[in-house]
Structure 1
Amino acid sequence: MNNQIRTFRVAQDYGFQIDPSIPVLGYTETVNYETCISHAHPRGQLIYATRGVMNVVVGNNIWVVNPLQGLWIPGGVEHQVTFQKDVNYYSVFIDPSVTKGLPINSFSFDIPMFLKQLVFKIITFGTEGDLEASQRRVIDVFLDELALIVPSATFLPTTNDERLQKVVELLMNDVASKQTIDYYAELSFMSTRTLSRLFIKELGMNFSDWRTRLKLLEAIKRLGEKQSIKEIALNLGYETPSAFIFMFKKHLGKTPSNYILEDENEDKISA
């Protein structure tokens, strides 16, 4: 797999174009195994893909974004996006003149069909400042809808603490691991109590919850790659598919099968 690394032209041009007469700029592209290097731009950005999976890193948080989700990044926030296979990518860049009232933090969210349709419409507006009255009304509705989005739980906090970072890397490199926190504490030359406290302090959750979140994000990624539920369950270290399904539904409110079905139905509607 040849993973090319580049800065997208859209991030260079659209993200840095400050012009209140063009409050939003839409862009779409099909991307295959590429990474957009870490960057920031003055315009806020809504990222969405009708097909494929994106990994987005903002600070010490990692999001795995699938076709049922969008990602909001305020202007000036440094971020890096890695695109998996065949990502049909959409983005809307919002001028600072109209970002008042929009969220001030980055997060992923379950994107409503209505907001998706507004994104698709904005993509057709072009990049000039001669917007028609009907187009400006669409943009106003889009901004109103964007102000209503709320975060989902599908992100993974990471850390700059060197001691904890080693444990996090071990867990991320072996998602199916069934080792206890005592095992990782011993590997890191820490007491179990110290490591447990570090998880709470640095990551905002305990060892067990963080590892579950890691498995959940990996499951979302693999579902996006069309792997079978049985295959995903075994590769994530679950004894049975039913145990995996229980975990998935507990945290996302739907089974993996329903999650896939909703994804496929959304894709048909947007096609």
Structure 2
Amino acid sequence: MQAETGVVAHSHARGQLLWAETGVLSITSDNTIWVLPPTHAVWIPSYIPHQVNSETQAQLRNLYIDPAYPIRQNEKSIVMLTMSHLLREVILKLTDTKVSLTDQQIKNLGLVAIDELEVLKPFNNNIHSGKDLRLQRLINYIVQHPNQQLSLPDLSKIAGASARTIERLFKSETGMTFRQWRSRFKLMNSLALITQGKTSTFIAHELGYKSVSSFITTFKAQFGCTPQEYATKE
């Protein structure tokens, strides 16, 4: 998937496991946004509309699973999952066009993928986008330009509403102020940058934090560990 491109809202008859081997994706569905680094995937049940955007070039790897195989039946909407090393290698094997697999090998690997998908742990890295079209217009801009540092008055012009109206919409439709929402979105994107091997200094500068220490403090308050500790775990 090329940088700064996207796929409009669509759905599939089969369940989809969406994973980017490289790059970072944003997924939008049902007024919710997920930021997806290579350490994670999203499970998208059948017929769930979703939109995909990529700010960077990304190598997508998709698995489509027939409804005849019941997967994560308690989850009726999109869920973000922490990838396992086993599932990662199985997907790479199944999607490697240079490797010739027999039908039986494909079936065996597919069954392993299904078993592994069932036990992956959910990971909360999403944020609400609201239903109001003006708010969605503004949020879509932020999603497509995650490193921008425009003020609320400037962003409100993109939305076609006053700054006061946009602030009210953020509170009523996302449960957060604009400042809180953007802070949360920055943290979501910081996870993706960490998985790319970026330093805290780089991330703090890239995402517009006032200092490296303020980024680390905010990150630890949200995720319970420092960026370096998170990178070590992943």
- TM-score, shorter chain, exceeding 0.5: yes
Structure exhibiting the larger radius of gyration computed from Cα positions: 1
TM-score (norm 2): 0.74
Shift of 1:201: 5.0
Residue type at the aligned position of 2:2: N
Aligned pair 1:117/2:117, yes or no? no
CA contact (8 A) 2:81 2:121 kept: yes
Q: Within 1, Cα distance between the matches of 2:166 and 2:57?
A: 44
C-alpha RMSD of matched pairs (Å): 3.7
Partner of 1:148: 119
> In the alignment, which residue of structure 2 is the partner of 1:108?
80
Aligned to 1:47: 18
Of 83-92 and 135-144, the range deviating more from structure 2: 135-144
What is the CA–CA distance in structure 1 between the aligned matches of 2:137 and 2:124, rounded to whole Å? 24
2:43 pairs with 1:72: yes
Q: Distance in 2 between matches of 1:139 and 1:56?
A: 24
1:256 maps onto 2:211 in alignment: no
Q: Is the 8 A contact 2:84 2:120 kept in 1?
A: no
Q: By how many angstroms is 1:165 displaced? A: 4.8
Q: CA deviation at 1:104?
A: 2.2
* Alpha-carbon distance, 1:117 to partner: 1.7
Q: Aligned equivalents of 1:191 and 1:146: distance in 2?
A: 39
Name the structure 2 match of 1:32: 2
Are the equivalent residues in 2 in contact too, given 1:53–1:87 (CA < 8 A)?
yes
1:250 CA drift (Å): 3.2
Query: Shift of the alpha carbon at 1:88?
Result: 1.9
CA 1:109–1:201 in structure 2 vs 1: closer, same or farther (change >3 Å)?
farther
Alpha-carbon distance, 1:147 to partner: 1.8
1:206 counterpart letter in structure 2: M
The SS at the match of 2:59 is: strand
Whole-angstrom CA distance in 2 between matches of 1:69 and 1:101: 16
On the 8 A contact 2:31/2:128 being kept in 1, the answer is yes
Q: Match of 1:115, as an amino acid?
A: L
- Matched-pair contact (CA < 8 Å) for 1:40–1:77: yes
Q: Is the 8 A contact 1:44 1:99 kept in 2?
A: no
2:33 counterpart of 1:62: yes
- For structure 1, the residue ranges without an aligned partner over 5 or more in a row are 1-30, 180-185, 264-271
1:164–1:89 CA distance, 2 compared to 1 (3 A): closer
Q: What residue number does 1:8 align with?
A: none
DSSP-derived class of the 1:46 partner: strand
User: For residue 70 of structure 1, what is the amino acid of its counterpart?
Assistant: A
Residues 1:83 and 1:170: Cα distance change in structure 2 (over 3 Å): closer
CA displacement at 1:166 relative to structure 2:
7.3
What is aligned with 1:16? none
3-state SS of paired residue (2:61) = strand
Aligned partner of 1:14 in structure 2 is none
Aligned residues: 222
Per-residue CA distance 1:191-223 (angstroms, 9 max, x = gap): 98xx3xx656522x4326433311112323545
- Identify if the C-alpha distance between structure 1 residues 262 and 83 changes in structure 2 by more than 3 Å, giving closer, same or farther: farther
